[in-house]
Amino acid sequence: MAISPNFTSVYSKDWEINFIQCYPNGQLKHTELCNILQLTAGFHAEMGGLSFSDMQVHNQAWVLSRMRVEVTELPKWRDRVTVKTWIVDMQGSRSVRALELYVGDKKMVSSLTYWVVLNTELRKPETLALPFEHFEVYPKNVPTEKSFSKINLHVATTFLKNKEVLLSDLDIVNHANNVKYLEWCLDCIHPNILLKNGINAFDMNFLRELHWHDEVELVSSMEEIPNFISVIKNDKYCFALFLEYNP
C-alpha cells in the first residue's frame, strides 16, 4: 500500500470503549488497553506504508519485544478516548514507538514500546526491507516516566499453573499474540487488584515465540502479591511481566 496522502509523523485516533472491553466494574481491561494502543500503532504504520500486508511482500512483520505502560486512571465504558502515537527512534531492524491515551484533555495512560522486524519465514529478526525515512522521529519526546527495561529473570519463583496454547491465542503472524501473555498472567493475581485499579505501571518482555499446542508453565515471584510473573516453556523464559502497584 502506498503512503497515505493523510500521513503525518504524529498520529491520533479516537476509540469508544464498549462493554465487551471492560471489567465487571466498567473499567477498561488492561489487556484491551494494550490492544487499543497496539491497534493505533498499526493504523499509523499502515498510513506510512509499513502495514502487515506491505511487509509480507518481503516476508516481514513487526513484532513487539518490550512494552512499558504507565496508568494514572483506566477509561470506563462509553468513554471516548484519543490515542496519540509517534516514533521516538527508528533504525534498520527496530523501532521505538510512544503512545498516550487521553479522555478529553486528561492523559490517563503513557506507553513506550520496542518493536523488531521479524522474517516470518525464517522466524529471525532482520533489517526492514521498506523505506521509512518519511517518518520523522522525536527522540526527546518520551511519554513515560521510566523507559521500558530488561526484566530481571533471576528471581525465586513459585509454580502457578500449566497452560496449553490454543488456536484462540494465535494471531495473523501465527504465534501467540502478545496480549495473550498478559491475559494469562493477570488471571493469576487477585481480582481486587485489577478491579480497584491497583496497578500503576507494568513492563513486558517478549522473549520467545509460542505456537499452537505449546505447553507452558506460569510462575511468579514469592510475594503474596507478586510483582513478577513469567511464562516458561521447557525451562526457558518466553515472557516476563513486572508489575508496579499503587501504594
Q: Which three three-digit cell numbers place residue 28?
A: 477498561
User: Which residue bears the cell 533504525?
Assistant: 91
> What is d(CA 223, CA 150) in angstroms, rounded to the nearest whole number?
21
Cα-Cα-Cα-Cα dihedral of 134, 86, 39, 127, to 10°? 50
β-bridge pairing 60-71 and 11-16 = unpaired
Q: What is the pLDDT tens value at each position of the chain, 247 positions in all? A: 689 999 999 999 999 999 999 999 999 999 999 999 999 999 999 999 998 999 999 999 999 999 999 999 999 999 999 999 999 999 989 999 999 999 999 999 999 999 999 999 999 999 999 999 999 999 999 999 999 999 999 999 999 999 999 999 999 889 999 999 999 999 999 999 999 989 999 999 999 999 999 999 999 999 989 999 999 999 999 999 999 999 8
Nearest to 97 by CA among 60, 141, 35, 157: 141
Q: Tell me if 227 sits within 8 A of 165, measured CB to CB.
A: no
> What is d(CA 20, CA 27) in angstroms, rounded to the nearest whole number?
11
Q: Where are the domains of the chain?
A: 1-144, 149-247
β-bridge pairing 199-206 and 215-221 = unpaired
User: Does this chain's domain 1-144 share its CATH topology with 149-247?
Assistant: yes
Q: Tell me if 225 sits within 8 A of 190, measured CB to CB.
A: yes
> What is d(CA 21, CA 17) in angstroms, rounded to the nearest whole number?
7
Q: Tell me if 168 sits within 8 A of 177, measured CB to CB.
A: no
Query: Under CATH, what is the fold of the domain 149-247?
Result: Thiol Ester Dehydrase; Chain A (3.10.129)
User: Could you give the 3-state DSSP secondary structure of residue 39?
Assistant: helix
Task: Say which residues have a Cβ less than 8 Å from residue 39's Cβ, sequence separation at least 6.
Answer: none
pLDDT in tens, 146-193: 999 999 999 999 999 999 999 999 998 899 999 999 999 999 999 999
DSSP states of 112-166: EEEEEEEETTTTEE----S--TTS-B-TT---SSS--------S-EEEEEEEE--
User: Which residue bears the cell 466494574?
Assistant: 25
Element (H, E) at 183: helix 178-186
Beta bridge partners of 1: none
Does this model's pTM top 0.85? My answer is yes
Domain 1-144 has CATH 3.10.129.10: yes
